[in-house]
Amino acid sequence: MADWIYVDNSNVFIEGKRVSAVKQGLVPTIWDAFDHNVLDHGYRMSFGKLYQFVAGNNRAETARAMLFGSRPPENDAIWDIARRVGFEVVTHDRNFANREKKIDTGLVTQMTRDAYRNAAAGDIFTIVSGDIDYVPAVEQLRADGFQVDVIFWKHAGRELREAASNFIELDDHLDALRA
């Protein structure tokens, strides 16, 4: 049995900043943080701690751990840090409007490719994201007999939480994941 891990970096990081904003008392609820675009800009997540939490949270050896995100400025060492702690890193350029593109589809493409080319019966797929765009892939993998766990903040999309084999909340681990 092996665990295949796929992390949507921007999704988990930005939403962690919202969770931290609530914890810091900047807004009363996560929904207020959304409505007023309030983030705790001082919150930084440790890739090493995230990797240890996700990989250590499962009962299987890690077959692959991939981190998907937007290409940072050339002088930014963020992805080098992620590589050093065990992630394979996949980055894509932002579009002309500086919006992140290709992350969700890239993650789903790699995850399904691994499922149907490399995985064995009993393997676990773990997605670290709360985006409901992943629901069709999760449902298909589950229908094909795979366990699909989702790890994210408790405000993850309801449909994704329900589609997953298991949903693991990060909220209680906010400080433990801090860089």
Q: What's the whole-model pTM score?
A: 0.89
Element (H, E) at 104: helix 103-117
Q: What is the pLDDT of residues 162-175, one digit of tens each?
A: 999 999 999 999 99
CATH of the domain at 163: 3.40.50.1010
CA distance 15 to 8: 11
What distance in Å separates the CA atoms of residue 153 and residue 144, rounded to the nearest whole number? Answer: 26
83-102: string of b/e by CB count within 10 Å (b at 16+)?
A: eebbbebbbeeeeeeeebeb
Q: Is residue 23 part of a domain?
A: no
Cα-Cα-Cα-Cα dihedral sign, residues 107, 113, 118, 121: positive
Q: Does residue 122 form part of some domain?
A: yes
- Identify the domain containing residue 103 by its residue range: 2-11+44-173
- On whether residue 132 sits in a domain, the answer given is yes
Interval 74-89: pLDDT, tens: 555 666 777 777 787 8
pLDDT in tens, 148-161: 999 999 999 999 99
What is the Cα–Cα distance from 30 to 174, expressed in whole angstroms?
14
Q: What is the largest CA-CA distance in the chain?
A: 47
Instruction: Give the pLDDT score at 10.
Output: 84
Q: How far apart are CA 111 and CA 129, in angstroms?
A: 13
pLDDT at 124 over 60: yes
Q: Per the domain annotation, does 164 fall within a domain?
A: yes
> Per-residue pLDDT tens for 92-107?
666 676 666 678 888 9
Q: How many structural domains does the chain have?
A: 1
What per-residue confidence (pLDDT) applies to 72? 62
Q: Is residue 25 part of a domain?
A: no
